[in-house]
Amino acid sequence: MSSESSKKRKPKVIRSDGAPAEGKRNRSDPEQEGKYYSEEAEVDLRDPGRDYELYKYTCQELQRLMAEIQDLKSRGGKDAAVEIEDRRILSCVHFMTLKKLNRLAHIRLKKGRDQTHEAKQKVDAYHLQLQNLLYEVMHLQKEITKCLEFKSKHEEIDLVSVEEFYQEAPPDISKAEITMGDPHQQTLARLDWELEQRKRLAEQYRESLSNKEKILKEIEVKKEYLSSLQPRLNSIMQASLPVQEYLFMPFDQAHKQYETARHLPPPLYVLFVQATAYGQACDKTLSVAIEGSVDEAKALFKPHEESQDDESDSDAEEEQTTKRRRPTLGVQLDDKRKEMLKRHPLSVMLDLKCKDDSVLHLTFYYLMNLNIMTVKARVTTATELITPISAGDLLSPDSVLSCLYPGDHGKKTPNPANQYQFDKVGILTLRDYVLDLGHPYLWVQKLGGLHFPKEQPQPTVIADHSLSSSHMETTMKLLKTRVQSRLALHKQFASLEHGIVPVTSDCHYLFPAKVVSRLVKWVTIAHEDYVELHFTKDIVEAGLAGDTNLYYMALVERGTAKLQAAVVLNPGYSSIPPIFQLCLNWKGEKTNSNDDNIRAMESEVNVCYKELCGPRPGHQLLTNQLQRLCVLLDVYLETEIHDDSVEGPKEFPQEKMCLRLFRGPSRMKPFKYNHPQGFFSHR
Amino acid sequence: MERAVPPTVPLGQMEVFQALQRLHMTIFSQCFSPCGKFLAAGNNYGQIAIFRHSLPSACSLSAALSSEAKEESKKPIVTFQAHDGPVYSMVSTDRHLFSAGDGEVKAWLWAEILKKGCKELWCRQPPYRTSLEVPEINALLLVPKENSLILAGGDCQLHTMDLETGTFTRALRGHTDYIHCLALRDRNPEVLSGGEDGTVRLWDLRMAKEVQTIEVYKHEECSRPHNGRWIGCLATDSDWMVCGGGPALTLWHLRSSTPTTIFPMWAPQKHVTFYQDLILSAGQGPCVNQWQLSGELKAQVPGSSPGLLSLSLNQQPAAPECKVLTAAGNSCRVDVFTNLGYRAFSLSF
Counting one residue from A and one from B, how many pairs have CB atoms under 8 Å apart?
115
Mean pLDDT in residue range B89-101: 92
- Residues of B within 8 A of A683 (CB-CB) are 85
- Residues of B within 8 A of A645 (CB-CB) are 225-226
CB contact under 8 A, A541 and B6: yes
Confidence of residue A211 (pLDDT cuts 50, 70, 90): very high
Mean pLDDT in residue range A467-479: 80
Mean pLDDT in residue range A223-228: 90
Domain for residue B255, yes or no?
Answer: yes
Domain for residue B164, yes or no?
Answer: yes
In angstroms, the separation between the Cα of residue A643 and the nearest Cα of chain B is: 5
CB contact under 8 A, B24 and A537: no
Which of A546, A579, A662 shows the shortest C-beta gap to B196?
A662
Mean pLDDT in residue range A643-672: 81
Give the model's pLDDT for residue A12.
40
Q: Pick from A405, A647, A660 the residue to mutate for testing the B interface (most B CBs within 10 Å).
A: A660
Domain for residue B280, yes or no?
Answer: no
Mean pLDDT in residue range A352-361: 82
- For residue A318, pLDDT beyond 60: no
- For residue B35, pLDDT beyond 90: no
Please answer whether residues A299 and A358 qualify as being in contact, where contact means their C-beta atoms are separated by less than 8 angstroms: no
In angstroms, the separation between the Cα of residue B298 and the nearest Cα of chain A is: 23
Nearest chain B residue to A604, by CA: B24
- Rounded CA Rg of chain B: 20
Rounded Cα distance between A211 and A489, Å, is 80
**pLDDT tens for residues A268-307?**
888 888 888 888 888 778 888 888 888 887 787 665 444 3
- For residue B126, pLDDT beyond 50: yes
A604 touches chain B (CB under 8 A): no
In angstroms, the separation between the Cα of residue A514 and the nearest Cα of chain B is: 23
Confidence of residue B40 (pLDDT cuts 50, 70, 90): very high
CB contact under 8 A, B309 and A666: yes
Burial class (CB in 10 A: 0-12, 13-18, 19+), A295: exposed
Domains held by chain B: number: 1
In angstroms, the separation between the Cα of residue B18 and the nearest Cα of chain A is: 9
Question: Could you give the 3-state DSSP secondary structure of residue B222?
Answer: coil
- Residues of B within 8 A of A538 (CB-CB) are 23
- For residue A312, pLDDT beyond 50: no
- Model confidence, pTM: 0.68
Question: From edge to edge, which strands make up the β-sheet containing A347-353?
Answer: A286-291, A347-353, A359-367, A372-380
**pLDDT tens for residues A509-542?**
888 888 889 999 899 898 889 989 888 888 888 8
Give the model's pLDDT for residue A252.
65
> Per-residue DSSP letters for A564-594?
EEEEEE-TTTTTSPPEEEEEEESSSEEETTT
Domain for residue B217, yes or no?
Answer: yes
- Tell me the residue range of the domain where B141 lies: 127-262
Which of B19, B26, B309 shows the shortest C-beta gap to A542?
B19
Rounded Cα distance between B328 and B306, Å, is 10
> Per-residue DSSP letters for B151-211?
EEETTSEEEEEETTT--EEEEEE--SS-EEEEEE-SSSSEEEEEETTSEEEEEETTTTEEE
Rounded Cα distance between B322 and B328, Å, is 18
Nearest chain A residue to B195, by CA: A665
CA distance to A450, A462, A601, per residue, from A301 (Å)? 21, 18, 63
Domain CATH code at residue B186? 2.130.10.10
Length of chain A: 683
CA distance to A402, A444, A446, A480, per residue, from A476 (Å)? 15, 11, 12, 6
Give the model's pLDDT for residue A459.
44
Give ipTM to 2 decimals: 0.89
Confidence of residue A231 (pLDDT cuts 50, 70, 90): confident
In angstroms, the separation between the Cα of residue A641 and the nearest Cα of chain B is: 7
**pLDDT tens for residues A153-182?**
777 777 778 888 888 878 777 777 777 778
Mean pLDDT in residue range A418-428: 80
Burial class (CB in 10 A: 0-12, 13-18, 19+), B53: buried
Query: In 3D, which of B104, B108, B190 has the Cα closest to residue B153?
Result: B104
CA distance to A150, A328, A581, per residue, from A532 (Å)? 94, 43, 13
If one compares A391 and B63, the residue with the highest pLDDT of the two is A391
Please answer whether residues A84 and A8 qualify as being in contact, where contact means their C-beta atoms are separated by less than 8 angstroms: no
If one compares A566 and B117, the residue with the highest pLDDT of the two is A566
The percentage of residues in chain B with a pLDDT greater than 70, rounded to a whole number, is 89
> Per-residue DSSP letters for A579-635?
EEEEEEESSSEEETTT-HHHHHHHHHHHTSGGGGS-STT-TTHHHHHHHHHHHHHHH
Domain for residue B177, yes or no?
Answer: yes
- Residues of A within 8 A of B310 (CB-CB) are 665
CB contact under 8 A, B225 and A603: no
Q: What is the mean pLDDT of chain A?
A: 80
Mean pLDDT in residue range A504-510: 85
Which of B16, B22, B226 shows the shortest C-beta gap to A570?
B16
Domain for residue B306, yes or no?
Answer: no
CB contact under 8 A, B88 and A572: no
Give the model's pLDDT for residue B59.
43
A89 touches chain B (CB under 8 A): no
CB contact under 8 A, A666 and B20: no
A644 touches chain B (CB under 8 A): yes
DSSP lists the bridge partners of residue B49 as B41, B79
A585 touches chain B (CB under 8 A): no
- Residues of B within 8 A of A442 (CB-CB) are none
- Residues of B within 8 A of A599 (CB-CB) are 24, 26, 330
Confidence of residue B320 (pLDDT cuts 50, 70, 90): low
A103 touches chain B (CB under 8 A): no
Mean pLDDT in residue range B203-207: 88
Secondary-structure percent of chain B, ordered helix, strand, coil, rounded to 5:
10, 45, 40
Domain for residue B248, yes or no?
Answer: yes
A280 touches chain B (CB under 8 A): no
Contact residues, A window 517-556, toward B, CB-based 8 Å cutoff? 537-547
In angstroms, the separation between the Cα of residue A559 and the nearest Cα of chain B is: 20
Give the model's pLDDT for residue A412.
78
Query: In 3D, which of B23, B8, B27 has the Cα closest to residue B309?
Result: B27
- For residue A128, pLDDT beyond 80: yes
Please answer whether residues B291 and B279 qualify as being in contact, where contact means their C-beta atoms are separated by less than 8 angstroms: yes
